[in-house]
Amino acid sequence: MRGDVKLSVEREKEEMKAELCRVLNKIGALEFGTFKLTSGKTSPYYIDLRIVPSFPDAFQKVCDLYVKLIEKDLGVKKFERVAGIPTAGIPFASLVAYHLKKPFLYIRPKARLHGRERRIEGILMPGDRVLLVDDLITTGKSLRKAVAAIRAEGGVVTDAVVLVDREEGGKEKMAKDDVSLHYLLRASEAASTLYEMGVLTEDQLKIISRQVKKK
């Protein structure tokens, strides 16, 4: 019985991954060229999840995937609040918080110099457990800054969720900060699936594979 349940869970996870790949393909979120990432690294490919909210159907599907991933990998009792990482993670985090009926907040890149001069927007009390939500992770630079900001104000961070892990060291760096990274899809998995779908050429598949190995 346990084996059947595990197999069912694995099948559902694989279907979730395939669904995300179909969405990425449909909206044209994967591009090839030369791109400078938020981390400062240069990449020969770019996964543009920032355009997802411009496609309402895709936005809904992606947010549903976030919710399913959180419910299956974490459970909703491990955190009290959901925080979005600027800027790409904010729209996803806000809908996830809404669906899970959790308070939402977001972290600014740096504190405002006017108004209430806050770095964290929203209500955060000492001891609150906060789940971080971002679109993807490369080196983990943005997420690690958010972890430090929340902990500096007394919040507790043990988990972060992203759709895509670009497999360039971010997961390992988050672990050094005692934060578990939960992701739906690895970049190499996305490349293989899209190649099997006939979307990527063999050369494009190799481009992503080489970038992953460079970490």
**Nearest C-alpha neighbor of 187 from the set 204, 201, 175:** 204
Please provide the average confidence, as pLDDT, over all residues in the chain: 91
Rounded to whole angstroms, the Cα distance separating 183 from 100 reads: 18
Q: Residue 114's pLDDT is what?
A: 53
Domain boundaries, the chain: 2-213
* DSSP-assigned states of every residue in 123-157: ---TT-EEEEE-SEESS-HHHHHHHHHHHHTT-EE
Is residue 189 over pLDDT 70? yes
The more confidently predicted of residues 215 and 41 is 41
Is residue 60 over pLDDT 90? yes
Is residue 17 over pLDDT 80? yes
Is residue 3 over pLDDT 70? no
Q: Residue 215's pLDDT is what?
A: 60
What is the pTM assigned to this prediction? 0.92
- Pairing state between β 180-186 and 156-165: parallel
Q: Residue 209's pLDDT is what?
A: 92
Rounded to whole angstroms, the Cα distance separating 200 from 206 reads: 10
**Nearest C-alpha neighbor of 137 from the set 29, 28, 47:** 47
CA atoms within 13 A on the CB side of 120: 23
Helix (H) / strand (E) element for 161: namely strand 156-165
Tens of pLDDT, residue by residue over 113-168, are: 455 557 899 999 999 999 999 999 999 999 999 999 999 999 999 999 999 999 99
Rounded to whole angstroms, the Cα distance separating 115 from 102 reads: 26
Mean pLDDT within 51-67: 97
Q: Residue 29 burial (CB < 10 Å; 0-12/13-18/19+)?
A: buried
User: What is the fold of 2-213?
Assistant: Rossmann fold (3.40.50)
Cβ(102)–Cβ(81) below 8 Å: yes
Is residue 201 over pLDDT 80? yes
